Amino acid sequence: MSSNVQSIVEKYGNNANRLMDILHDIHSEKGFVSNGEMKEIALLLNISKVDVEQTLTFYHFFSENPRGKYTIYLNNSLVAEMMGREEVAKTFEKATGTKFGTVSDDGLFGLYDTSCIGMNDQEPAAIINGIVFPRVTTYRVKELIRSFRQGHTVEDMINSYGGGQNQSELVQAMVTNNLNRRGAVIFSDYTPGEGLEKLKSLKPQDIIEEVKNSNIRGRGGAGFPTGLKWDFCSKAEGDERFVLCNADEGEPGTFKDRVILTERPSLMFEGMIIAGYAINAKLGLLYLREEYYYLKKHLEFVLSDFRQKGWLGNNILGIEGFNYDIRIQFGAGAYVCGEESALIESCEGKRGEPRNRPPFPVQVGYLNQQTIINNVESLSSVTKIIANGADWFKSMGTKESSGTKLLSISGDLKYPGTFEVEWGITINEMLEMAGATDVKAVQVGGPSGRLIGPNEFHRTICYEDLPTGGAMIVIGEGRSILDVVMNFMDFFIEESCGSCAPCRYLTVILRNKMKKIIDGKGVASDLDEIVHWGKQMKIANRCGLGQSAANPILTSIENFRHEYEAKIEKGKDFDTEFDLNSAIIESARAVGRFPEA
Amino acid sequence: MSDKVKFKIDGKECVADKGVNLVDAAKQNGIYIPTLCHLEGVKPAGSCRVCNVKINGRFMTACTTPVADGMEVENNTQDIQELRKIIVETLFVSGNHYCPACEKSGCCELQALGYKFTMLVPRFPYAFEPKEVDAESTKLFIDRNRCILCKRCVRSIKSKDGKSIFAIKGRGHNAMINIDHELAAQMTDEEATMAMDNCPVGSILKKERGYYTPIGSRKYDKEPIGSDIEESVII
C-alpha cells in the first residue's frame, strides 16, 4: 500500500462520498489513476474496485493511463470550429507528432478533444495541464510545443493576463472577461455583505417570502421559481439540509458564470449563505466544473475571507445557532452533471447519471437529504433581491420574467462576450447590441435549445416567449446549418451518460443519418425518418440531455428544411448509400478478380 | 380497502396494492407492460425505457412510478408501441446479437420482445462495433456483444459484504459492463446461476454448462413474452 494513496484517502475521512476529491488529488500528482491505485482506494473505502473504476471512467478529465507530461485539451465546440479550430488542431498534431486521442511516443504530449470549456468568446481555446490558453493561433501552437520540448513549464508560457481579477495574483489567467454590458443586478455596484446585513432583521421564512415575491426563476435554463423551490425544501421533513450551487455551466456557448466567478464571487457566495439561512442548512457546496480549476485559489480566498469576517462558521453575523460553511466540489468533465440530480450523484462520488424523479432533490437530494440546487446567476441575483427588495427586482424585466439576464453571446459577431440585459429584449435588438450583421441563424440556449432563423428574430427573450439559460450562438450567412447540427450531435453523443438506451445509441443513429445527408447520399424518406426518430428522443429519455439531444435536428429541419432538401438526391426514392463495389472489395482482392467498371 | 388504489389502464378499471410500481400493478390486473431492465424485487433503474407509458398525459417509465389513485394510464397505443419497438431495434443494432448461436436463444427477453413487436429486421443500420468478451472469471463469461446495459446484474448481484461485483465502465455509447474478478472468484455456484438467470440476454453465462434446456422447449418458444401475465388475473 502506498503511503500516498493512504494519506489522501484518510484526508477525506475514508469516505466513499468524497471519491471525486480523492481521484482529483491522485490525478493532480501524477496525471492518472492506475489499476493498482484503484485497488488501494477500494480497499481503504471498503468498496469494490469496479465501483472506483466506474466513477473514474465516467469523467472526461480522469484517466486510467498516463496522458503525457503536457496534456492538451482542445475545445471542439461549434464556435471553436467557426474560429479556426481545424488549422490549430492540425498544427498541434504536426508539432507534437501525435494524433488526437493519443499520447506521443516519447510520452511528452497527450492530445485530446474536449467539449465546450466556457471560452466561446475567445476561441479556439485549449486547456494545458489545467491552464487555459485562449485565442490559440497556429503560430502560438508551434511556439508552445517548441518551448515545451525545450523544457519550459506550462506556467512559463503565460504571456498576458486578462483584465479584472484575471490579473490578480491568485488567478493570473490569460482569459479575458469580455464583460460588454453591465446591468442593474449582477454587475451593478456592489459591496460585499450588503445582502447578509439584512439577515440580522429577517427570519428564514421572511427570506423565502421575499424571494418568492421577486418572481425570480432559475437562471440555468429550466426556469423553476427559486422561492418555491426553497419553500418546498424548508417544509420537507428531514434531518439535514443542503445548498448546492450549480457552477457546471457546460451548455456549449455559455460562459457567463465564468465572469461571475471571476468578478463577483462574493455576490454568489452571499447568495449561498442567504439560501442556507432560509432553508436551515449547515453546508453549501459549490459544484465547479474542472474547466474552471484555474479559479480555485481565487474562490478559496474569498471563502477564507468570509470565515474571518464571521460570515461563515458558527453563529454567523451573531445570529445564534446559524452555523454554516461552504466547500468547493470539483467536477471532472461531464456536461450531464449540470442536470441537478446528476450533479448530486457526482457530489456523492458517483457516476453523474441523472436520477429517476420523483422524488425531487428538495425531498431526497444530496446524501438523501433535502437539497436545493441553484444556478450561480440565480444565487447572485438573490443577494441583490435581499439587499434591495423584491419590488426593486420586479421593476425590471417583463411581467413573468423579472430582473436581468446574463447572455453569453458568441459566434459570428463583432463583440462576443457577456451582456447583462433586462428580460424583454428581442433577438433583433440583441444582435444589434452585440454587433452582429448578416445573421443566418441564432442558436438560442445552446445545442439543447432552439435554432431559429430571421423569421423569429422579432421574438422576445423572456420566459413567456423565448426562454434561455443565456447561451446565444450567432451563425452568419456563410455557414452551413447542417455542419452546425453535426457538431451538436457529436457533442450529445460524447456527453450522454449512457444510462437510457435511446440516448445512448439513437443519438449515434441520428448522427449517422445526418452524415449520410451531408455526404449527398440522402433520399427524401431520410428526412421523414430523422424527424420521426428525433421525436422519440423527446419522450423516451429520463433527463433533459436525452430529451433535447435531437433538438438541433428537429428545430433546424423546422426552420431550415431547404438546406436539407438541397442535399437530398433528386428523383430517387431508393437508398443510394450502399456501394456494392466498396462492400465487396475485400473479397475481390482475396480472389484477385474485380468487377468491371 | 385503504391499502388498495384504483386506476385505469387503457380504459380498463384496475385495482392494486398501494405503493407498488406500475409494472407490477398492471401485472396484478392481467396487463402486460413490456420491460427489459426491470427485475421484480430490485430497485428500478428506469434505464431501458421500454416500459414507457403515458400517465395522465405524460410519458413516464412504469417501473419507476408508484401507482396512485385515479391514474389514467395509456399502455397499448400505437405511439407507445412504436416507441418501444424503436428502442428494441436500437438495442439490436447497437450490439452484436446472433440469436441462432446464442445460449440464451428462446429464453432471451430482448429476442422475445423483438418477436412481440414483430420486428422482422431492424430499421436502423447495424453498428457491428467490436466488443470485448471477458472470460477471465472462473465461473462466468461476460459477452459484451449481447449486453444491453440494463444493470440488472449491477443492482441485484452483490458480494456477501454488500460490495458490487458488477459495475459500468465508461460512458455514453462506449459504456460497458465490468466485472470485479476478485469478488467474482468468491461467488458460489448458486450466485453465478442467479447472475446468469437475472441477465435478460445472453451476456452473463455460466461456464461449463450449456443448452441445459433444449431449443424448442424454452421459455418463449411456444408463447410470446407477457402472455402468462395476460392470461392470469391475480386479483
C-alpha cell belonging to residue A19: 471519491
Measure A49 CA to nearest chain B CA, in Å. Answer: 7
The residue whose grid cell reads 466540489 is A329
Instruction: Tell me if A171 is assigned to some domain.
Output: no
The answer to whether residues A323 and A240 belong to one domain is yes
pLDDT in tens, A291-313: 999 999 999 999 999 999 999 99
Same domain, A211 and A325: yes
Find chain B residues with C-beta within 8 A of A493's C-beta: 172-173
Contact A505 B94 (CB under 8 A): yes
Distance CA B62, CA A575 (A): 38
Distance CA B90, CA B127 (A): 10
Which element (helix H / strand E) includes B133?
strand B133-134
Are both A375 and A430 inside the same structural domain? no
Closest-CA distance, A500 to chain B, in angstroms, reads 4
Q: Are residues A467 and A493 located together in one domain of the fold?
A: no
b/e per residue A350-372 (b: at least 16 CB within 10 A): bbbbbbbbeebbbbbbbeebbbb
∠ CA A550-A561-A518, nearest 5°, is 70
Q: What is the spatial distance between Cα A493 and Cα A576, in angstroms, rounded to a whole number?
A: 26
* Contacting residues of A for B64, CB less than 8 Å apart: 356
Residue type, B195: A
The tens digit of pLDDT for each residue in A25-59 reads 999 988 999 999 999 999 999 999 999 999 999 99
- Does one domain contain both A384 and A408? no
Per-residue pLDDT at A477 exceeds 70: yes
Judge contact between B143 and B95, C-beta under 8 A: no
Residues A184-228 pLDDT 10s: 999 999 999 999 999 999 999 999 999 999 999 999 888 999 999
pLDDT band per the 50, 70, 90 thresholds, residue A374? very high
Residue-averaged pLDDT of chain B: 94
**Where do the DSSP E strands lie in A237-382?**
241-247, 283-288, 325-330, 370-375
pLDDT value at position A254? 97
Q: By the CB < 8 Å criterion, does A594 face chain B? A: no
pLDDT band for position A578 (cuts 50, 70, 90): confident
Helix, strand, coil share (%) of chain B residues, nearest 5: 30, 20, 55
Query: CA–CA separation, A352 vs A373, rounded Å?
Result: 15
Interface of A with B in 38-67 (CB under 8 A): 46-51, 53-54, 57-58
Helix/strand/coil for A315? coil
Which residue's C-alpha cell is 450531464? A336
Residue A42 and residue A54: Cα distance in Å, rounded? 12
Domain encompassing residue A534? 481-565
Residues of B in contact with A536 (CB under 8 A): 82-83, 86
Residues of chain B contacting A, Cβ within 8 Å:
44-50, 52, 59, 61, 64, 82-83, 86-87, 90-91, 93-94, 123-125, 127, 148-149, 159, 163-175, 178-180, 182-183
- Which of A374, A397, A133 is CA-nearest to residue A245? A374
B211-225: pLDDT as tens digits: 888 988 999 998 999
What Rg, from alpha-carbon coordinates, does chain B have?
A: 18
Measured between beta carbons, which residues in chain A are less than 8 angstroms from residue B87? 501-502, 540
> Number of residue pairs across A and B with CB atoms under 8 Å?
122
| 8 Å CB contact of B167 and A507 | no
CA distances from A478 to A416, A417, A451, A481, A552 (A): 18, 22, 16, 9, 19
Single out the residue of A249, A356, A17, A110 nearest to residue B37, CA to CA.
A356
Res. B42 pLDDT band, cuts 50 70 90:
very high
Nearest CB to A48; choose among B48, B165, B173 = B165
DSSP symbol at B161: T
CA B127 remoteness from chain centre: 22
Residue A450 DSSP SS3: strand
Distance CA B202, CA B190 (A): 18
pLDDT score of A491 more than 70: yes
Task: Please tell me what DSSP assigns to residue B220.
Answer: T
- Its pTM stands at 0.96
| Mean pLDDT value across residues B228-234 | 71
Note the pLDDT tens digit of each residue in B169-200: 999 999 999 999 999 999 999 999 999 999 99
User: Which of A476, A506, A523 finishes a domain?
Assistant: A476
Tell whether A83 and A196 lie within a shared domain. no
Among A394, A428, A459, residue at a domain's last position: A394
User: What residue type is assigned to position A373 of the chain?
Assistant: I
Q: What CATH number has the domain bearing residue A86?
A: 3.40.30.10
3-state secondary structure A554-585: HHHHHHHHHHHHCCCCCCCCCCCCCCHHHHHH
pLDDT of res. A542: 94
Say if residues B153 and B202 touch (Cβ distance below 8 Å): no
Rounded CA separation A582/B1 (Å): 68
Would you state the cell numbers that stand for residue A471, as one nine-digit string? Answer: 447561451
Residue B27 grid coordinates:
401485472
Does the beta-carbon distance from B178 to A53 stay under 8 Å?
yes
- Residues A69 and A107: beta-carbon distance below 8 Å: yes
Residue A245: beta bridge partners? Answer: A286, A374
DSSP B26-78: HHHTT-----SS--TTS-----S-TTEEEETTEEEEGGGSB--TT-EEE-S-H
* Residue A136 grid coordinates: 490559440
- Closest to A83 in 3D by CA, of A37, A105, A110, A116: A116
A457 to chain B, any CB pair closer than 8 A? The answer is no
What is the rounded CA–CA span in Å between residue A287 and residue B227? Answer: 49
* Gap between the terminal Cα atoms of chain A: 66
- Check whether residue A290 and residue A186 sit in a common domain: yes
Contacts (Cβ under 8 Å, ≥6 apart) of A13 = none
Secondary structure (3-state) at B125: coil
Identify whether A457 is part of a domain.
Answer: yes
Helices A524-540 and B78-94, packing angle to 10 deg: 100
Same domain for A365 and A237 = yes
Give, for B140, the enclosing helix (H) or strand (E): strand B140-143
Alpha-helix residue ranges (DSSP H) falling in A438-541: 481-495, 501, 507-518, 524-540
Query: Which residues touch B227 (CB under 8 Å, ≥6 apart)?
Result: B32
pLDDT given for residue A597 in this prediction = 63
Instruction: Give B217→chain A minimum CA distance, Å.
Output: 30
Domains delineated in chain B: 4-76 (3.10.20.740), 86-206 (no CATH)
Q: Look at A542 and B164 and tell me if their CB atoms are within 8 Å.
A: no
**Is A184 a member of any domain?**
yes
A80 shares a domain with A32: no
Is B175 in Cβ contact with A498 (below 8 Å)?
Answer: yes
Residue of A48, A502, A508 lying closest to B180 (CB–CB): A48
Is there a contact between B15 and B26 (Cβ–Cβ < 8 Å)? no
Q: Which CATH number belongs to the domain containing residue A202 in this structure?
A: 3.40.50.11540
Taking an 8 Å cut-off on Cβ atoms, the answer to whether A48 and B164 are in contact is: yes
Q: A573 in a domain, yes or no?
A: no
Cβ contacts of B40 within 8 Å, gap of 6 or more: B24
* Cross-strand pairs, B72: B8
Q: Tell me which DSSP letter residue B16 carries.
A: E
Same domain, A278 and A344: yes
Helices (H), A285-400: 296-309, 340-347, 376-388, 390-394
Percent share of chain A, pLDDT over 90: 94
Parallel/antiparallel/unpaired status of strands A325-330 and A283-288: parallel
- CA B119 to chain A, closest CA, distance in angstroms equals 16
Facing residue for B164 by CB, picked from A50, A501, A509? A50
Tell me, yes or no, whether A315 lies in a domain: yes
| CB nearest to A540's CB, from B52, B91, B159 | B52
The pLDDT assigned to B233 comes to 53
pLDDT at A594: 87
What percentage of residues in chain A have a pLDDT greater than 70?
99
Which pLDDT score, from 0 to 100, does residue A1 have?
60
Residue B44, min C-alpha distance to chain A (Å): 9
The verdict on a CB contact (< 8 Å) between A501 and B87 is yes
Grid cell at residue A122? 475567445
Task: List phi, psi (to 5°) of A460.
Answer: -100, 135
For A154-169, what is the HEC assignment?
CHHHCCCCCCHHHHCC
Q: List Cα–Cα distances, A491 to A98, A549, A563, in angstroms.
A: 23, 9, 21
Q: How far apart are CA A253 and CA A551, in angstroms?
A: 16
Q: What pLDDT shows up at residue B232? A: 60
Say whether A501 and B59 touch across the interface (CB within 8 A).
Answer: no
Number of domains in chain A: 5
Count of CB atoms within 10 A of residue A592's CB?
Answer: 6
Q: Which residues in chain B are contacts of A508 at CB distance < 8 A?
A: 94, 127, 173
C-alpha cell at B50: 421500454
A131 touching chain B per CB within 8 A? no
Quote the percentage of chain B above a pLDDT of 90: 89
pLDDT of residue A503: 96
Instruction: Indicate the angle between helix axes A551-565 and A481-495, nearest 10 degrees.
Output: 150
Per-residue pLDDT tens digits for B50-83: 999 999 999 999 999 999 999 999 999 999 999 9
Residue A586 lies in a domain: no
| Beta carbons of A47 and B125 less than 8 Å apart | no
What DSSP state is assigned to residue B13? E
- Closest Cβ opposite residue A542 in set B46, B94, B125: B46
Segment B118-165, tens digit of pLDDT: 999 999 999 999 999 999 999 999 999 999 999 999 999 999 999 999
Identify the pLDDT of residue B235.
45
| Chain B residues with CB-CB distance to A334 below 8 A | 171
Which of B48, B170, B179 shows the shortest C-beta gap to A50?
B179
Name the nearest CA neighbour of A495 among A81, A176, A58. Answer: A58
- Name the domain boundary from A476, A495, A525: A476
Encode pLDDT of B9-33 as tens digits. 999 999 999 989 999 999 999 999 9
CB contact under 8 A, B167 and A50: yes
Q: How far apart are CA B44 and CA B61, in angstroms?
A: 10
Give me chain A's average pLDDT, please: 96
Coil vs helix vs strand at A485:
helix
Could you tell me if A181 and A421 are in contact, meaning their C-beta atoms sit under 8 angstroms apart?
yes
The per-residue pLDDT for B1 is 47
B79 exposure class (CB count in 10 Å sphere: 0-12, 13-18, 19+) = middle
Residue A514 falls inside a structural domain: yes
Tell me the chain B residues in contact with residue A529 when contact means C-beta distances shorter than 8 Å: 123
Residues A129 and A70 sit within 8 Å (Cβ to Cβ): yes
The packing angle between helices A204-213 and A376-388, to 10°, is 100
Q: Does A540 touch chain B (CB under 8 A)?
A: yes
Enter the C-alpha cell of residue B221: 418458444
Q: Are the Cβ atoms of A58 and B148 closer than 8 angstroms?
A: no
Question: Looking at the DSSP assignment, which residues form a beta bridge with residue A373?
Answer: A244
- Evaluate if residue A3 carries a pLDDT over 80: no
Give bridge partners of residue B58 from the DSSP assignment. B55
Question: Is there a single domain that holds both residue A198 and residue A297?
Answer: yes
| A433 and A369 inside one domain | no
Give A-chain residues touching B168 at CB under 8 angstroms.
54, 351, 498
Residue of B nearest to A500 (CA): B47
DSSP state of A217: B
Look-up of cell digits 463583432: A414
| C-alpha–C-alpha distance, residues A81 and A116, integer Å | 11
In a domain, A285, yes or no: yes
Which residues of B are less than 8 Å from A512 in CB distance?
A: 125
Residue from the list B86, B166, B170 with its beta carbon closest to the beta carbon of A57:
B170
